[in-house]
Structure 1
Amino acid sequence: MSKKRLVHKLYNLDGFQESLLPVVVQSVTLQFININTENNEFMKKVIDWEYMLLCGSILAKSDNGEHLDVAYRIAQYCLNSLETNEHQKLAATIILDSMTNASTIQLAMEKELIPATYKENVPLTFQLEMIKRGIQYSVLDQGTNNLLYVNRFQLDAYKGAMENDWTSISAPTSAGKSFIILQMLIQYLKKQNNQVIVYIVPTRALIQQVEYDLHKALSVNKLGKVYVTSVPIFPKDMENESVVFVLTQERLQWMLLDNHEIKPSMIIVDEAQKIGDGSRGILLQQVIEEIIRRTSEAKFIFSSPMTSNPEIFLNKATSGSLTKSIVTEQVTVNQNLLWVSQVPRKPTQWNIELCLKDSRIYLGKFAMRNRPTQVSKRLPFIAFELGNKEGGNLIYANAPAEAEKCAKILWDLQGDEADTTDKEIHDLIKLIKKVINKDYVLAEILTRGIAFHYGNLPLIIKNEIERLFKNGKIKYLVCTSTLIEGMNLPAKSIFIRGPKKGIGTPMNEIDFWNLAGRAGRQGKEFQGNVICVDVTDSKLWNGEPPSIKKKYVIEPSVDMVVQNIDQLIDFIEAGTPRKEASSNPELEYGFGYFLGEHIRNDGLNNSPFLDSYEKETVKIVEKTITESLQDIEIPKEIILKNSAVSPIAQQKLLQFFKECDEEIEQYVPLLPESDEALDQYCRIVEKISGFLSGDPAAITYPHALLVVEWMRGYSLSRIINRNWKYWKEKNKNLQTVIRDTMRDIEEYARFKFVKYSSCYIDILKYFLECNGYEEIVKDIPELSLWLEFGVSQETQISLMSLGLTRTSAIAVSEYIVATDLTPKQCIGWLKEHNLESLDLSPIVVMEIYNVLSVHTKVDLLNN
């Protein structure tokens, strides 16, 4: 009998499954001290550990995810059980070693479940096997000549990337993708000099985390001549160095448009499944294809969670490229899906069940200390009862306001005895009061180890919240969809109730399992819990919560546009109405995508990226696009640069400039510090809203004021205070004003106005040049960089390019006289001055020291 058949037969034996259930149930249940297990028959069962460990050792050799999950379960529960002896724990450790799970063995040693000298007690035969595995599952660090121990998946991924030009990796969230991709990048940099590398991340929130990890890895590996930045412009003083850009697809598009000669040599696409994420998915596909057009020699690495078709990214590989798709079901932690529901007619009594593949197992019941008199209390009440008091509790909220309310309830549940005197917590509270507002609810709830986290918060605040959550000082963290976008936090348990993504849109299974994957992080926990609340409410859950983890199919957004091609045709033929473009941006971006292919290839039939679509469909789109361009005067270069804005809308703006009876200077952007800036930007925002974005005229003034203040580098608190003075007389709640202000900055000033003002300026410049106004053109500022980063001084932008947040860059720049320092000059200034003597938050000072420590090491390596 083959090894594979033996494993399969063992796993499906009724006797084995019966023996396994008590292991699983006890392992899960004993995490929760508040559960009454009186009617749980499995808690009374005695486990035959010799038999289970033997079975675990066989299953550990499988590649099947279900088998590996069981083998890991047996091993980790054996290590944690009070009923197992030293020899059995040693056997469990050998099983983990056979699964190449060194991080769990390290965790067991840290928790003193096994001695650090455990290898001395391993029988010789197994010692030899462990040594062999240690060599087999290691990669050579060519810089230090040391061996780096990796797991099965990581070795396959590493070899695949080193041996191929295009690699697509699909693995569970906790398999260690980010770590091994970082090692691939480091090894590539050691072999190659003067490279341009692009690391694409799906959100701005992830940029700094990747930057930090890269800086740390470069320092450890003594790679000095590498510059890492998230600013999409080439630094002036970085000659003879490789550059790693960590960018969203928006920033990458911006950099590619401004630098036609750039040919990245390596591109890493993190969370690559986002190619199916609506309009941003279309943009991601556009920037990937633009790089392919520029060079056939670039190395691509795509990373996605458990998907059934990761090879879809390899379809675009250039002729002659070596490609490989790597899929794994590597298990590095157990993840438990738990369903919680109210006991009928007893509001304070709740049942908890464990969801397995084919059944649900009753674990017990627990009682709430208070009646959940409002529906909004259920989630925080349950998180409080079942959460680990040492920390690691994440609660998913559907919106920022909901997150704040949930966190406030948890703060109240904690009581006075949870009040903390921790200095780091109180440093964060002081910073929040200074950076946001003295009465912001986040400052209050932190006093008891509670926090919330959503995308629009200032980056320095989010970073510190994440750090304090990781080290256990924040016990409960309420998050919105930023958790799905890859926020890397080690959570013990995630609590979910009727999750939505966006306003009123039920979360799909893909996002649910991506969210669930955050429970139980490799090397931090033995297991994680996904706790679904009110599972019997079919309306709340749009049926019932997902119960079986599946691989999902990646479907690019462009493909989805093609599947509904009639919608796109109707949109174009209707003249691309602004209201519809705003409500359904995939249509505008889809139009831009096909229009770009039409222009670049002199017709869609010649595009190398459209071969997979039916010729008749392409023919219909071609005809519609050709007809739509008949009255368009806008140069092709401008259309291509602004592919996310309809050329029909662009033409209407150009027509306004042509027919304008007023002085054209009134519509020319000024420097934000100009006395006339607000009036000028009111006129500009009005025209952008009317011709390009479709925003209502009523919000022209507040949007213009926000844009001007943001570019001037005003602090967030100053902008909030100005808004509050206006809205408090209209009886608007302060917390709502704070949320709305942060939302408008992120969604309008940093995104929407960036996109549309760039298009506006291109059309304005074209009109001015055609009509002899070249002198005016010279004075038009480039707003995009200032808007994206919220500063307009070169010194501040240089500070941010080094890795500082906007808050820190603005705070320290107040002490710097020169406004035109380069990144290297900024490092020199920071080194020369005593930061402790400046009136800066300890959190700002710590961030500056972290940046300095990295760049100082780089300088030493270069000398």
Structure 2
Amino acid sequence: MSTFATEVAIDIRREPGFWSDLAELRAVGIRSTVLQANQQVRVDGPVLAEKALTRLLNTASVFASASDEESKELAQQIAVFASLASSEDMVHEASIRILSDLGNFPGLRKLESEHPVDLGFETHMRRGLLRELNTVDMAGVRVPLTEYQLDLWRSLDSSAATAVSAPTSAGKSFVVLEHMCERAMAAERFAAIYIAPTRALLTEIHGKLEKRLSSISKSIRITTIPVPDPESRPKQIYVLTQERAQFLLSTVAVAGLIDLVISDEAQSLGDDSRGMILQDTLEKLRESNPAARFLFLAPGASGLQLIGDSIGLPDINVKETTLSPVVQNRISVGFSDLDEHLVHLDLVTPKKLEPIGTYQFQRGFALGDDTKLAAVALELGASGRSLVYATGAKNAEDLTALLALNRHPGTSKGLSDLAKFIEQHIHKQYSLANFVRQGVAFHYGNMPSLLREGIEAAFKRGELDYLCCTTTLFQGVNLPARNVFIDTPTRGKGAALDEAALWNFAGRAGRLGEEVVGNVFLVNYEHWESKPLTERKPFAMKAAFKRTVEADFDAVVELLQAAVDKAPILERDRAAGDRITAAAGLILFRSSQKTLDGLLGRRSLSLTTEQKDSLTELADQALTSLELPASVLTTSWMLDPVALAGLLQRIRELVCQRDFAKVMPSNPSGDAYTVYNSIIRRLYKYLGGVNLKGDEAKGNRGFVAHVTVTALKWMRGEPLTQLVAEAVKYKKKVAQQTNKRPLTQAAIDGAIRDMFTLIEQTIRFKLVQWAKAYVDLLKYALAQEGLDEMVSQVYDFSLALELGVSTRTGRSLVEFGLSRITAAAMASLITDSSLSADQVRGWFSQQPASLIQQLSPLVVAELRERSLVSVEYSA
């Protein structure tokens, strides 16, 4: 880029007059995005001085030619705000020219669709030429990219490991996914692993890949299940969480087979025990697949070389930008102490608050915190789809209720179908169904995937106007909105949100190709204890293992010493936490693999030689003392090693006594309560440290029995609506016995929420980890007793716990990317429990349309999206 233009841009930015003109333009432009045309609100605010717009557009032309990203961002702001502030064709043409020079063609396409204008010959030719220079061929379609996307796309032709850092709305995932798809289509044989931190993100990525690669569906398997392909297709793409990827590496031989590894939301490397699992999994993939290409995606991170150093990749190519192709405004929302109807909006900039306008509403805002947040969202979010941040699941429900009670929109066919689905597949009295009919909904991580996806789809279609959501949406899921509302930088009971995560959520305001501008409303921002959204700073990448071993070295040593001494678990300090337990466990595992020197020898790890020697010596002694097999440590090193050793000892005793009725897990489809009650009690006792003896433990025993019953029903594929109905029924019974009153709506919603939590957090996460360890320990104990023929008979119930199906037919349905709700519903109609994926597809082809049309519209839509049925739903 022009050095002269950069120098001129720097000189202009030193002029107070430029910033004064820009503040006026930003105020006028932002005001045009806040209210609907029919809203009757008196607004006072800065006005644009005569000829200021001309000066700014000329300035933007210079900024667009400069080489620094600050100038380019200002040029983009001027172009977008000018197009919003003026209806003159000349202004819109100038804005188009500036955005063309910036290479923001996705944003330009959106702008032109909203403000069509007849371009002059020179502008038309210039835009066309620049657009062609930024256009690449993707699946036979010419796609224009931003400058950053184009640079990233070209860099992916190399084989170097690459870390990709860009704001949430920069379109990095689109380019990386397209690169993977191009490689999959071009190769005769291809295998890739896409690692993402949440199941919600797995579902989204799986759906995108299914659509994009439908033309080669017969030769490629795209799956979220970590098991081998029963059809041995030549092309494989695994879309997995780090836990599922860890499971895959322990059960499937992938050495030398993987061509591409993508780690999305790679900042998860710093997430305590889950970050350590990610680090270990990536390093295993690197060691076993030295020719594989590694790509890491993170939103606005610095210190990306730490990723490579943590997994043994010394050189990483970094492709980063701070420039978002969408103009995102952070707006402070303040209130008057003298007039409850007044609201002050100010643009948050690193230097100061710039006045946008004072709004005189008919509504009064002398309200409590949640009620005020809802009121602000109703007034300022009327111009487009809005996300409202909630500090937890209950808070999301409460905010949604406030929004629903205070608006009266019409309903669409899609919302009616979604509401009926909720009543049919969750519970007929679930308040969410009525909220949806009012055009609002809540969204949190423990919700069933098909319900969550149905809500997301309705929001994307514009049928839902408001979505009250928790931190679930902070990572990855592409859910564009015009507005985001936040009134606190905390979560749960007041714990501070990670600053990078908060910026990630704010980045949902406006998404590439969906909006050219997004507004982040910060309610009562001036009263926040901390103000993390004033100035964006690249967050530093962290590695959980490095941070834990360095900062809590003594605690890690203490835990390893306890392992050497076999200190009884109930006598030890259990407050060490998962992070320290996982760090000590990873050291033990790497010691058992004779690779601890490599882990402790990372150049970024700040430990003295004496400290490293101490960890090495203790790990060797602990392994000798505990006698834990390597097969268990491979996937269960994040669990307490002393607890694992205690569980192994108890399993050995039962095996020696040949008491297999209490020790051998079986397929849960039969009468399996007795054995699973014994197993799960054992898991809670040894791995959970829960006391189950004596009168004082009656409540614990009741809870474990409840977990066992629910886990069995879940593994059998029993409908979620049945599990929820039983939870609500139990709550109603308790209410009748205690206060003789009917169950309130809040209590019904609470019972449903508690069931979601039990399934997602206890059954699908905690029990899955424990079950995997149990199965490995049992197989080891059987082999030690010479009972090799029984090893193959051990039913690995960890996968059934996670998927919620226990038969081959059920797994085949999940293999298609179907949600558990749909998979369980269809499995209940198929009379063969052992069908492969191809056989399941054949079963669908034989069914009459009348059968499919009896199903819920959302279920039919999911089946049709996975190409399992072709019929349209008709009510």
1:105 aligned residue: 108
1:458 aligned residue: 448
Take 1:627 and 1:302, find their aligned partners in 2: how far apart are those partners?
37
Give, in angstroms, the shift of residue 707 of structure 1: 0.9
1:840 aligned residue: 855
* Residue range with higher mean Cα deviation, 475-484 or 341-350: 341-350
1:417-452 residue CA offsets vs partner (Å, 9 max, x unmatched): x242x2211111111111111111101111110111
The equivalent position to 1:669 in structure 2, one of 651, 665, 671, is 665
Matched residue type, 1:76: V
Take 1:358 and 1:852, find their aligned partners in 2: how far apart are those partners?
54
Change (3 A) 1:836 1:504: farther
Contact 2:332 2:347 in 1 (8 A): yes
2:387 aligned residue: 394
2:584 aligned residue: 591
Contact 2:484 2:509 in 1 (8 A): yes
Contact 1:568 1:590 in 2 (8 A): yes
Take 1:497 and 1:714, find their aligned partners in 2: how far apart are those partners?
40
Contact 2:662 2:675 in 1 (8 A): yes
Q: Which runs of 5+ in 1 are unaligned?
A: 857-863
**1:707 is aligned to 2:716:** no
2:740 aligned residue: none
2:749 aligned residue: 735
**1:167 is aligned to 2:155:** no
Take 2:754 and 2:625, find their aligned partners in 1: how far apart are those partners?
40
Take 1:836 and 1:581, find their aligned partners in 2: how far apart are those partners?
57
2:336 aligned residue: 343
Take 1:62 and 1:224, find their aligned partners in 2: how far apart are those partners?
49
The equivalent position to 1:425 in structure 2, one of 415, 421, 433, is 415
The equivalent position to 2:84 in structure 1, one of 65, 80, 89, is 80
Matched residue type, 2:619: I
1:849 aligned residue: 864
**1:195 is aligned to 2:209:** no
**1:572 is aligned to 2:575:** no
SS of 2:290's equivalent? coil
Take 2:677 and 2:506, find their aligned partners in 1: how far apart are those partners?
45
Change (3 A) 1:581 1:127: farther
Take 2:633 and 2:43, find their aligned partners in 1: how far apart are those partners?
70
Matched residue type, 2:858: I
Give, in angstroms, the shift of residue 158 of structure 1: 1.4
Take 1:368 and 1:683, find their aligned partners in 2: how far apart are those partners?
63
Matched residue type, 1:153: Y
Give, in angstroms, the shift of residue 51 of structure 1: 2.0
SS of 1:674's equivalent? coil
Contact 2:669 2:806 in 1 (8 A): no
Q: Which runs of 5+ in 2 are unaligned?
A: 693-699, 736-742
Matched residue type, 2:104: N
Give, in angstroms, the shift of residue 602 of structure 1: 5.8
1:861 aligned residue: none
The equivalent position to 2:134 in structure 1, one of 122, 133, 137, is 137
Q: How does 1:110-259 map to 2 (within 5 A)?
A: 110-111=113-114, 113-115=115-117, 118=118, 121-123=120-122, 126=123, 129-141=126-138, 144=140, 147-219=142-214, 225-239=219-233, 241-259=234-252
Matched residue type, 2:669: E
**1:810 is aligned to 2:813:** no
SS of 1:451's equivalent? strand
Change (3 A) 1:35 1:523: farther
Matched residue type, 1:840: L
Change (3 A) 1:354 1:47: farther
Give, in angstroms, the shift of residue 835 of structure 1: 4.0
Take 1:298 and 1:679, find their aligned partners in 2: how far apart are those partners?
46
1:859 aligned residue: none
Take 1:446 and 1:140, find their aligned partners in 2: how far apart are those partners?
40
2:539 aligned residue: 552
Contact 2:346 2:354 in 1 (8 A): yes
Take 2:251 and 2:362, find their aligned partners in 1: how far apart are those partners?
59
2:762 aligned residue: 748
Take 2:601 and 2:402, find their aligned partners in 1: how far apart are those partners?
56
Take 2:518 and 2:817, find their aligned partners in 1: how far apart are those partners?
32
Contact 1:199 1:269 in 2 (8 A): yes
Take 1:740 and 1:679, find their aligned partners in 2: how far apart are those partners?
25
Give, in angstroms, the shift of residue 609 of structure 1: 4.6
The equivalent position to 1:94 in structure 2, one of 91, 94, 97, is 97
2:612 aligned residue: 618
Change (3 A) 1:647 1:659: same
Matched residue type, 2:484: I
Take 1:53 and 1:35, find their aligned partners in 2: how far apart are those partners?
32
Take 2:347 and 2:381, find their aligned partners in 1: how far apart are those partners?
16
Take 2:623 and 2:602, find their aligned partners in 1: how far apart are those partners?
22
Take 1:272 and 1:659, find their aligned partners in 2: how far apart are those partners?
43
2:503 aligned residue: 513
2:489 aligned residue: 499
Matched residue type, 1:728: K
Give, in angstroms, the shift of residue 284 of structure 1: 0.6
**1:447 is aligned to 2:444:** no
Take 1:673 and 1:331, find their aligned partners in 2: how far apart are those partners?
52
2:405 aligned residue: 412
Matched residue type, 1:5: E
Take 1:606 and 1:590, find their aligned partners in 2: how far apart are those partners?
11
* Residue range with higher mean Cα deviation, 553-562 or 627-636: 627-636
2:23 aligned residue: 21
Count matched residues. Answer: 835
2:696 aligned residue: none
Q: How does 1:771-782 map to 2 (within 5 A)?
A: 771-782=785-796
Contact 1:90 1:122 in 2 (8 A): no
Contact 1:582 1:693 in 2 (8 A): no
Contact 2:262 2:295 in 1 (8 A): yes
Take 1:38 and 1:666, find their aligned partners in 2: how far apart are those partners?
73
Take 1:643 and 1:828, find their aligned partners in 2: how far apart are those partners?
42
Matched residue type, 1:668: M
Matched residue type, 1:28: I
Take 1:489 and 1:25, find their aligned partners in 2: how far apart are those partners?
26
Take 1:331 and 1:586, find their aligned partners in 2: how far apart are those partners?
34
Matched residue type, 2:684: S
Contact 1:296 1:318 in 2 (8 A): no
Contact 1:582 1:694 in 2 (8 A): no
Q: How does 1:787-806 map to 2 (within 5 A)?
A: 787-806=801-820
SS of 1:114's equivalent? coil
1:523-559 residue CA offsets vs partner (Å, 9 max, x unmatched): 211211111112243xxx3334531111110011111
Give, in angstroms, the shift of residue 414 of structure 1: 0.3
1:860 aligned residue: none
SS of 1:477's equivalent? strand
Take 1:165 and 1:583, find their aligned partners in 2: how far apart are those partners?
39
Change (3 A) 1:443 1:695: farther
Give, in angstroms, the shift of residue 328 of structure 1: 1.2
Change (3 A) 1:63 1:368: farther
Matched residue type, 1:453: H
Take 2:675 and 2:262, find their aligned partners in 1: how far apart are those partners?
41
**1:324 is aligned to 2:314:** no
1:434 aligned residue: 424
Contact 2:226 2:247 in 1 (8 A): yes
SS of 1:163's equivalent? coil
Take 1:223 and 1:438, find their aligned partners in 2: how far apart are those partners?
38
Matched residue type, 2:165: S
Change (3 A) 1:366 1:206: farther
Contact 1:396 1:499 in 2 (8 A): no
Identical residues among aligned pairs (%): 27
